[in-house]
Amino acid sequence: MSATPHGFWKLPAADGDAPRHLAVITGGEAGQTMLFLQDGDGWHVLALFEDELAGRTTARTLDRLLQARTYLRMGGADVLDGADTDRPGVEWAGYDREPEEEDVVAQRDVDPEARLWVLPSTDGATVGLKLPGHPRHRDAIAQFVDVAAARAAVAAVDALVGAARP
């Protein structure tokens, strides 16, 4: 079976470092949709999506986040930070405009165009990916293969949106 890419993003890399990429691809004998990271050591599966639609939706959401005029990153430095709170993990929200003073004075919420949330289970044993606010996907749509893979995904998205340097 051939592979079908749904999203492919080049990550910033220091001079002389091997190219790095993040990708959402459906393929293999089972036709599984996965989040991949490519680095100098090759391709690594970071997460498995519940189905192809969830992978495509995540790719479109990440594209919209990267096209946003401004974004907000919420959460700690590590994906397990806040695992026992109401807002664990790391979330990014992209906005088509920056909130203005009148929005703050009138207490108007500026709704994000795109949101990605990497969140751990309460015991930190598993980590999932959610698209908060998406009408079709209310629960986690992907599960990371392990905590290290979730950390790699957070670092990749941070690099893409400019929250971290390579």
Measuring CA to CA, how many Å separate 82 from each of 7, 93, 118, 156, 163? 29, 18, 12, 20, 19
160, 22 contact by CB (below 8 A):
yes
- Amino acid found at 56: R
Position 166 scores a pLDDT of: 41
Residue-wise pLDDT for 133-153, tens only, equals 877 777 889 999 999 999 999
Q: Which residue has the tokens 């592979």?
A: 3
> pLDDT digits over 38-61, tens only?
998 899 999 999 999 999 999 999
Three-state SS for 130? strand
pTM of the model: 0.88
Sign of CA dihedral 88, 57, 23, 44: positive
pLDDT tens digits for range 72-117:
899 988 999 987 788 899 999 998 876 665 655 555 566 788 999 9
Compute the mean pLDDT over every residue in the chain, rounded to the nearest whole number.
87
